[in-house]
Structure 1
Amino acid sequence: MRRPDVVVVLADDMGFSDLGCYGGEIRTPHIDRLGRDGVRFSAFYNTARCSPSRASLLTGLHPHQTGIGILTNGDSPRGYPGTLNDRCVTAAEVLRESGYATCLAGKWHLASEMTEPNDAWPTRRGFDRFFGTLTGCGSYYDPGTLTRGEADASAEARDPGFFYTDAIAQEAVEFVEHQAATAPDQPLFLYMAFTAPHWPLHAPEPDVAALDGVFDDGWDALRERRMKRLVDEGVLPAGTALSDRDPTQPAWADVDEQGWQVRRMQTYAAQVERMDSGVGRVVEALRAAGRLDDAVIVVLSDNGASPEDLPKGELESFRQRTDILPARTRDGRALRVGNEPAIAPGPEDTYASYGRAWANLSNTPFRFYKRWVHEGGIAAPFLVHWPAGRLAGGSIVDLPVQLVDVLPTLLDCVGVDHPETCRGRPVLPLEGRSFLPALREEHLDPVPLYWEHTGNAAVRVGRWKLVREYPGPWELYDLEVDRTELVDLAAEHPDLVAELADRWRRWADRVGVIPWDTTLALYAERGLGDEEAAG
C-alpha cells in the first residue's frame, strides 16, 4: 500500500491574518477550502525570519543547530556558517530514503555559496528534482539565481510571459503529473516554497486592477474588520484585544497620497492571490491523479509580515545585490527602486515594498513584525488537509506548537522513522514532537517553546510568554487572556521572570545560540553595521 503523499506550501513574509480563512479580505479560495475542510491552528509559531524558518521546517531542529542562525551570511568561525550543515537531515533526505520521489519548486535560501553546487544545495540534500532560486528574494519577472537541478536556468525567464509564482506552480503541477503517469505507486514529497508575497511588489496589472476598491478604506478600518473576522472564524476567541495601530504610523485619515498607498496594498494582495491560484492548480492535479484524499497538505508562512523599506541601505550599495536586484529589465529599462509615490508598484521596472502600516494590517491583531519574536513576528497561519487521515475536519487547534514540530508530525503521518545517521554521519535527534494527536482532537499537553533571532528572544511555557526586544529587558505576558501582548506583567511576577529566563538561557546554550553582541562586534570589526549583521 502506497504511503501518503506530502505537500508543504510555504509563503514568504505573509502575515498572520492575510488568508481569508484567517480573517483577511484577500481572496484565497483554494487555501481557504483546504483550511476550512482541514485543521487550522491558532497558535502556530515560526522562527521570525526566512532562512531560519526554512531550516527548522525541513529538519525538525532549532535553526541555530543547523548552521542557519540569522540568514546565509558566512560568518564562521565566530559566527554562524550561514549554510545547512551535516549535523541535520532534511525531510527530503528522510523521505527519499523511504521510497519517496522528492521535488522542490521555489526558494531554497539555505546555502551561503550560490554559484557553485555544494553539499548545502537542495539536489545534495534529498531533492530529486529542483527548480527555483537559491537566494532570498528577487524580481518575479527575472529572478536571480534561477536554477534547474544544478544548472543555470536564467534563460527560462527570457520568455515574456514568465512570472515566478506561476513558474513555481507549473513545476509542481508537472511533478505531480509526471509521478502519476510514470510511478503511480510511488509516494511523493513536494515542497512548494513561494517567494510571494515578499518584496518587490510585482504583479500583472489585471491582477492589481481586480482588487480595486478592496483597500480604499485604509488600514485602520481594515484592521478592525479583520479582528472581527478572526473571531467569527473561530481563530481567536471573543474578547481578544486588537493592538493599537503602530505608533510610528499615521491614522489613515491623515495619510497623504492615499491612492498610492492603496496601490501598494493591492499589489501585495495580488501576489497572495496569484500564489493561491497556484496552490489551486496543484490541488487539482492531485485530484485528477486520484491522490488528493491521501495527501498530507500543509500551508504556512515563514515569518510575520515585513515592515522593511526599500532600498535597504544606500541605493547604490543595494544595487550591488545582483542576486536579488537585476541591473535592468529584460527589455533594457532601468529599474526604479524605492517606496515613493512616483513609483506605482507592480510592473517589472519597479522595485518597492508595501511598508510598515500595511504590514501592521497583515499581522492583525498583533504588534511587531518579521525579525521580532513578539507575536507579530512569529505567529503564523498553519493548516493541514488530509481527508484520509482521520483529522478533525473543520476544527481549530489552540495548542501552541512551532516549526520543530512539523517534521516529526509529517513523519508520524506517513509512518517513517527519523534516522540516527545520514550520509555516513550521525545527525541530531528531532527537537520537536508529533502533534498528529491534536489534529485528531486528542489531548496533548503543551511543552515549552523557545526562540532567538538577532538578539530578540522568547520562551513560552503554557499560558506564560517571556519575551524581549534586543537590547531591552524581559517582558512577561499571560497569553491566555492577553494574546496581543498589551499588558506586561514582569514587574508583578519577578520570580517567574527569573525562572523562565533561566530556562531560556539553558536552551540557548544547548542549541548553540551565538550572542547577538558577538555578531555585532564581528561586523563592527569589518566596518559594517547592525543591518549588515542582520543580513
Structure 2
Amino acid sequence: MNKPNVIVILNDDMGYSDIGCYGGEVQTPNLDRLAANGLRYSQFYNTARCSPSRASLLTGLHPHQTGIGVLTYDMGPEGYTGNLTEQCVTIPEVLKANGYRTYMSGKWHIASNLTQPTSAWPMQRGFDEFFGTIIGAGSFYHPSTLTRGNSSADREALDNPNFFYTDAISDEAVDYVRRHDQQGGQDPFFMYVAYTAPHWPLHAHDEDIARYRGRFDAGWDTLREQRLERLVRAGILDKSWQLSPRDPTQPAFEDAEEKAWLIRCMEVYAAQIDRMDQGIGRILASLEETGQLDDTMIVFLSDNGGCAEDIPPGVDPRQLVEKLMIAQYRTRDGRQVRIGNYPDMMPGAEDTYQSYGQAWANLSNTPFRFYKHWTHEGGIATPLIIHWPNGIAEKGGIRHTPGQLPDLMATIVEATGSHYPDARNGQAIPACEGVSLVPSFTDPDVTRKPLFWEHEGNAAVRHGRWKLVRNYPGAWELYDMQTDRTELHDLAADQPDRVAELAALYDEWANRCGVIPRAQILEIMARSPEPAFWEKEG
C-alpha cells in the first residue's frame, strides 16, 4: 500500500453533540458524509482546553510534558512555560523525516511569542507551509497575528473586504491540495487544518444565520432531550444513560429573559459550524478532483467541550485588544467594535464581539455535565470521525473503545509506516504516550491502557469502566462509565478502595508527566495575579 496522505481537521470550542452525525441540529452534510463512509468514535477525548489539546495532539504527549499545562502564558519559574518545548517532536516533524510534505492552515496557539518567529512556531516545528494565526481567538473578519510562513499576513485581511477567517482557512487548505498535485504529488502530504469556529466571538454570514432561523426556538431543555434521543437511535450512546439535569445555574428556557437575543446567539453559533462544514466540503472536492480522496486518511475532532464563558458588558477593550491581541477596537471600515454580551445587540456582524453562554453550551455538551476547562465528560468528550477508503473497509461504523489525543500521533505513525524517534536534535525526548487506533479500524473491541487528564486542578483517570474525576478543589468522584457515562451517581463513598487504587494511578502519572499541583500554580498566580477568564485567549 502507498503511504496515505493525512489530514487532521480540528475545530475550536465545539460540543460533543452539535454536528448532525452526532445528534445535533447543525447542517453538516460533509462531516456526515465522512462519518457515513468511515468510523465514528463515541468515547474519544481531548484535554479540556485549546492550547493543551493542540500541544497533545501534535506531539503524542500529555500537555504538561510539552510545556503547555494551562495556556500560552508563563506560569512563573516553577510553572509551565506556555511555549512548546524543544524536548518533544511534532507530527509534521515525524512525517517529514519519512518523506512527507507538510502543510498547515489555521490556529496554532502553542507559542508564547505572538509576533516574532521562535522555535515554537509552525515553520520551525516541521511545516513546509503555514497560513493562520498564532493567537488563540479573535475577530473572524480581521484576526490578529495572521501569518503566512514567518511573516505577517495582516494585509490579506485588511485589503480584502470579503475576508472571513473560516473561509480563508478552508481556501488555503484547498490551495495546498491542488498545488501539491500540480507540483507532481509524488510524495504524500500531511495537512493540519485548525479552524477557530465556533470559538467566540459570534461572527457569521447573514445567509448562514438565516438557515437556522427558528431552529432553536424550542429552547435548550427540549433540544437536549431531542439530541439524546438521536444519539441513542444512532447507536452512539447507550439508552440506559440518563440525560444530565440542566445546569442548575441556568433557568428553564420558558423562564429565560431576552429570548430573541438568546436564540440569535445559538443561530450564529450554528452558522459558524455550518460555514466550516462548507469549507470541509471544498477540501473534499479538491481531493476528489486530484484523485486523492480514497488514499487520504481524514481525522476530524474538537479541542474541548462547549464553552460556557460569558463576555460581560463593560469589559475593558484594552485587555483584549492590546494585552491579549484577540480583538480589534474598530472594524476594517472604521466602526467601533462593541465588546460584550449586550442583549440589545444581535451578534454576527464585524462590529460585535459576543459569546453564546452557559445554557447553550449545556446543550452543545448533551447529554453530559460541565464544559471546557473541566474533566467531566462535558469538558473532554469530542466527536471523532476517521475516514480512509483505502484503509478502512467498514462504512458508517461506530467504535466505543475509549481513546484520547496522544493516540492520534500513534495512529498516524502506524498508518503511514513512519518511525517515532527517541531524540530530537540530539536531545532525548519522551516516548509517545498514545496507543494506535489502527487496530480499531477492524476490531470494535480493542482494550487499552488507562487515560489521564489534568487542567487547572480538574483531574481524571479512566481505567476500563471506571472513571475517577474531580472538580477542583472538590473531592474525587467515582463513576461506572458502563452504566452511568453521564456521571450522575457518584460511587466514591461506596467504593473507597477503588478510589484509592485509581488515585494512586493518577498520582503516579502526574509525577511522571510533570503535572504541577494546582495549589502551587495558584501560589505563583498570587504573586502575578491570574487574568480573569476573558483575558485568557482560547
Q: TM-score, normalised by structure 1?
A: 0.98
Q: Which residue of 1 aligns with 2:95?
A: 95
Q: Offset of 1:474 from its aligned partner?
A: 0.4
Deviations 1:271-325 (A, max 9, x none): 0000001111001101111000010000000000000011499424344345111
Call closer, same or farther: CA 1:527–1:215 in 2, change over 3 Å.
closer
Q: Kindly report which structure 2 residues correspond to 1:341-352, keeping only aligned pairs within 5 A, or say none.
A: 341-352=343-354
Deviations 1:61-89 (A, max 9, x none): 00000001001002342110100101110
Q: Offset of 1:391 from its aligned partner?
A: 3.8
- Partners of 1:68 and 1:313 lie apart in 2 by 30
- Partners of 2:530 and 2:282 lie apart in 1 by 45
C-alpha contact (below 8 Å) 1:102/1:188 kept by paired residues? yes
Q: 480-489 or 204-213, which moves further after superposition?
A: 204-213
The answer to whether structure 1 residue 133 and structure 2 residue 133 are counterparts is: yes
One-letter identity of the residue aligned with 1:315: D
One-letter identity of the residue aligned with 1:447: K
C-alpha contact (below 8 Å) 1:520/1:533 kept by paired residues? no
Q: Offset of 1:530 from its aligned partner?
A: 6.9
C-alpha contact (below 8 Å) 1:53/1:302 kept by paired residues? yes
Call closer, same or farther: CA 1:37–1:95 in 2, change over 3 Å.
same
Q: Kindly report which structure 2 residues correspond to 1:417-496, keeping only aligned pairs within 5 A, or say none.
A: 417-441=419-443, 443-496=445-498
Secondary structure class of the residue paired with 1:520: helix
One-letter identity of the residue aligned with 1:304: G
Q: 468-477 or 514-523, which moves further after superposition?
A: 514-523
Q: Which residue of 2 aligns with 1:122?
A: 122
Q: Which residue of 2 aligns with 1:23?
A: 23
One-letter identity of the residue aligned with 1:247: P
Q: Which residue of 1 aligns with 2:217?
A: 216
Secondary structure class of the residue paired with 2:390: helix
Q: Offset of 1:239 from its aligned partner?
A: 2.1
Q: Which residue of 2 aligns with 1:7?
A: 7
- Partners of 2:393 and 2:93 lie apart in 1 by 26
Candidates 345, 362, 365, aligned match of 1:363 = 365
C-alpha contact (below 8 Å) 1:93/1:127 kept by paired residues? yes
Q: Kindly report which structure 2 residues correspond to 1:200-215, keeping only aligned pairs within 5 A, or say none.
A: 200-215=201-216
C-alpha contact (below 8 Å) 1:52/1:70 kept by paired residues? yes
Deviations 1:224-250 (A, max 9, x none): 110111011111122221111111001
C-alpha contact (below 8 Å) 2:320/2:535 kept by paired residues? no
C-alpha contact (below 8 Å) 1:110/1:120 kept by paired residues? yes
Q: Kindly report which structure 2 residues correspond to 1:123-202, keeping only aligned pairs within 5 A, or say none.
A: 123-158=123-158, 159-202=160-203
- Partners of 2:529 and 2:245 lie apart in 1 by 38
One-letter identity of the residue aligned with 1:246: D
One-letter identity of the residue aligned with 2:400: D
Deviations 1:436-492 (A, max 9, x none): 111212542132000000000000000100000000000000010001000000000
Q: Offset of 1:2 from its aligned partner?
A: 4.0
Q: Which residue of 2 aligns with 1:276?
A: 277
One-letter identity of the residue aligned with 1:281: R
One-letter identity of the residue aligned with 1:458: A
C-alpha contact (below 8 Å) 2:407/2:434 kept by paired residues? yes
Q: 170-179 or 229-238, which moves further after superposition?
A: 229-238
Deviations 1:132-189 (A, max 9, x none): 0000010000000000000000000021000000000000000000011112221010
- Partners of 2:22 and 2:536 lie apart in 1 by 30
Q: Runs ≥4 in structure 1, deviation > 3 angstroms? A: 311-314, 316-322, 527-535
- Partners of 2:337 and 2:453 lie apart in 1 by 37
Q: Offset of 1:420 from its aligned partner?
A: 1.6
Deviations 1:364-420 (A, max 9, x none): 000000000000000000010000003432110000110111110111111111112
5+ residue gaps, structure 2, are none
C-alpha contact (below 8 Å) 1:520/1:529 kept by paired residues? no
Q: Which residue of 2 aligns with 1:39?
A: 39
C-alpha contact (below 8 Å) 2:75/2:82 kept by paired residues? yes
Call closer, same or farther: CA 1:391–1:519 in 2, change over 3 Å.
farther
Call closer, same or farther: CA 1:214–1:401 in 2, change over 3 Å.
same
Secondary structure class of the residue paired with 2:44: strand
Q: Kindly report which structure 2 residues correspond to 1:360-399, keeping only aligned pairs within 5 A, or say none.
A: 360-399=362-401
- Partners of 1:257 and 1:533 lie apart in 2 by 26
Q: TM-score, normalised by structure 2?
A: 0.97
One-letter identity of the residue aligned with 1:521: E
Call closer, same or farther: CA 1:398–1:404 in 2, change over 3 Å.
same
Q: Which residue of 1 aligns with 2:110?
A: 110
The answer to whether structure 1 residue 303 and structure 2 residue 308 are counterparts is: no
Q: Which residue of 1 aligns with 2:235?
A: 234
The answer to whether structure 1 residue 293 and structure 2 residue 291 are counterparts is: no
C-alpha contact (below 8 Å) 1:23/1:230 kept by paired residues? yes
Deviations 1:249-288 (A, max 9, x none): 0101111121111100000000000000111100110111
C-alpha contact (below 8 Å) 2:30/2:281 kept by paired residues? yes
- Partners of 2:232 and 2:444 lie apart in 1 by 23
- Partners of 2:323 and 2:509 lie apart in 1 by 35
C-alpha contact (below 8 Å) 1:520/1:530 kept by paired residues? no
- Partners of 2:102 and 2:274 lie apart in 1 by 26
- Partners of 1:221 and 1:527 lie apart in 2 by 41
Q: Which residue of 1 aligns with 2:66?
A: 66
Q: Offset of 1:532 from its aligned partner?
A: 8.7
One-letter identity of the residue aligned with 1:147: T
Secondary structure class of the residue paired with 1:492: coil
- Partners of 1:64 and 1:230 lie apart in 2 by 33
Secondary structure class of the residue paired with 1:477: strand
Percent identity, please.
Answer: 55
Q: Offset of 1:423 from its aligned partner?
A: 2.4
C-alpha contact (below 8 Å) 2:39/2:387 kept by paired residues? yes
One-letter identity of the residue aligned with 1:340: Y
C-alpha contact (below 8 Å) 2:30/2:280 kept by paired residues? yes
One-letter identity of the residue aligned with 1:383: I
C-alpha contact (below 8 Å) 1:42/1:397 kept by paired residues? yes
One-letter identity of the residue aligned with 1:41: Y
RMSD between aligned residues: 1.5
Secondary structure class of the residue paired with 2:460: strand
C-alpha contact (below 8 Å) 2:75/2:525 kept by paired residues? no
Secondary structure class of the residue paired with 1:389: coil
C-alpha contact (below 8 Å) 1:437/1:443 kept by paired residues? no
